[in-house]
Structure 1
Amino acid sequence: MNDPGSKKCSTCQRALPAGAFASNRSRPDGLQTNCRECAAEYYRRRQEARGKTVRVKVPVPRGHKRCPQCEKVKPHSDWERNRSSSDGWASYCRECRAERNRTGYFKRKYGLAPAELDAMIAEQQGVCCICLTAPAEHVDHRHETGRVRGVLCFSCNAALGQFKDRPDAIRRAAAYVEGIAWKPTLVAPGVYQLPS
């Protein structure tokens, strides 16, 4: 005979303490008929039959959390706070979250997968297309069409933005830097010649 603080699991037929069963308000005793272990095993088998995998539960020490992406158990100091989650911490550790945000940003903004971006940078030998010295770190695109042109360094990308992608202004700037004066020249009284 079962003692009052225990219940028999309908699957494994073991008499277990009430804490081994999940709650179910519709049952007379307020507990599920299967113990948590049997319910988890049933869920795992159903998911695998549907072609899905179920993550194995890993014991985590107090003050730590397991990241589902890198699968490492890390202290709470490696996590961002998130009031809306059940445990008050973000779903992914700081490193994985930063990588997921970076990947998502490039996919949303430019339609680039990480492999495509890495291929572009490798094609440029890892340097900026314009200055050929600084590392290529910033995706450059046409603002009218959104089409990606290449990967530039911060300075070159900012310079194109300051010139508002106007080729005529960029050509004048190049000529200016090369020492060609772009000021109107007085040819005759009241007549100025503009540079060609």
Structure 2
Amino acid sequence: MITEKRCPSCGIIKHVSDFGRNRTLTDGLSFYCLACNRERNRAWYREHRRSLGKEVWDHSWIPEGFRWCPSCEQPVAHEDYTRNARTASGFGSRCRACDRAANSAGYFYGKYRLSKGQVADMRAAQGGRCAICGDPAQHLDHDHGTGATRQLLCQRCNHGLGLFRDDPALLHAAAFYVDGHRERQLLARLEETFVVRPDSESPSAEPPVGS
């Protein structure tokens, strides 16, 4: 069993681990070494794109162990790149960070039917403030019945709407309840201030000095 083989492209005798597998050849190894095979494939890819009139990126400067990410447009280490067993390279189409961002944006759009850019525009239009109380906005509010997005709210207002089950009648009732008790408290204070109790002395008929 052979342990070494000469690559006809670079002319270097290399260990068999530096060659891919090819069952159609007698030695079971690929004709070219892995490094030369990658370079030949890249050259063919560039020429093919150029023949189609498409833009060709020169990635020859990217160091070994790194891969170009088309999303963030920078070289990324192999361990930080997505994997895909169905591709010839074994890598996915973008780095892990870009893949997480894309998945997050997809989830966000699927839930709210808004892009993060649209939410940023909404935040700018509201001045970053809650649409109800004016505190710093933190949450994107939505109709719990239809799922339609509304405006940005602070945490307390957003939770408050949820606790009142998004029911305007309950919200109005709560407002009347609070106002009613405040009015009763105000009337009680006014009675204590101006109403004369039976056991107290009657106020003088004459106006106070200095009036």
TM-score (norm 1): 0.63
Q: The residue matched to 2:104 in structure 1 has which SS?
A: helix
Q: Which residue of 1 aligns with 2:11?
A: 15
Find 2:126's aligned residue among 102, 124, 127.
124
More helix by share: 2
Measured against aligned partners, the alpha-carbon deviations of 1:144-165 in whole angstroms (never above 9, x if no partner) come to: 2221111112221111111111
Give the drift of 1:38: 1.5
Q: How does 1:24-173 map onto structure 2 within 5 Å?
A: 24-29=22-27, 30-32=29-31, 35-36=36-37, 37-47=39-49, 49=51, 51=54, 56=59, 58-59=62-63, 68=69, 69-70=71-72, 71=74, 73=76, 91-93=95-97, 96=98, 99-134=101-136, 136-173=137-174
Query: 1:42/1:146 Cα in 2 relative to 1: closer, same or farther (>3 Å)?
Result: same
Q: Which residue of 2 aligns with 1:191?
A: none
Query: 1:142/1:170 Cα in 2 relative to 1: closer, same or farther (>3 Å)?
Result: same
Contact 1:60 1:73 in 2 (8 A): no
**Number of corresponding residues:** 163
Query: 1:154/1:39 Cα in 2 relative to 1: closer, same or farther (>3 Å)?
Result: same
Q: The residue matched to 1:5 in structure 2 has which SS?
A: strand
- 2: CA distance, partners of 1:179 / 1:53: 73
Which consecutive residues of structure 1, in runs of 5 or more, have no partner in the other structure? 182-196
**Which amino acid in structure 2 is aligned with residue 138 of structure 1?**
H
TM-score (norm 2): 0.59
- 2: CA distance, partners of 1:21 / 1:131: 67
Indicate the RMSD between aligned Cα atoms, in angstroms. 3.9
- 2: CA distance, partners of 1:83 / 1:41: 23
More strand by share: 2
Contact 2:7 2:31 in 1 (8 A): no
Q: Give me the identity figure in percent.
A: 31
Query: 1:55/1:92 Cα in 2 relative to 1: closer, same or farther (>3 Å)?
Result: farther
Give the drift of 1:54: 6.1
Give the drift of 1:120: 1.0
Query: 1:75/1:18 Cα in 2 relative to 1: closer, same or farther (>3 Å)?
Result: closer
State the structure with more CA Rg.
2
Query: 1:137/1:100 Cα in 2 relative to 1: closer, same or farther (>3 Å)?
Result: farther
Query: 1:55/1:119 Cα in 2 relative to 1: closer, same or farther (>3 Å)?
Result: farther
Q: How does 1:174-185 map onto structure 2 within 5 Å?
A: 174-180=175-181
Query: 1:97/1:38 Cα in 2 relative to 1: closer, same or farther (>3 Å)?
Result: closer
Query: 1:28/1:47 Cα in 2 relative to 1: closer, same or farther (>3 Å)?
Result: farther
Give the drift of 1:15: 2.4
- 2: CA distance, partners of 1:151 / 1:140: 6
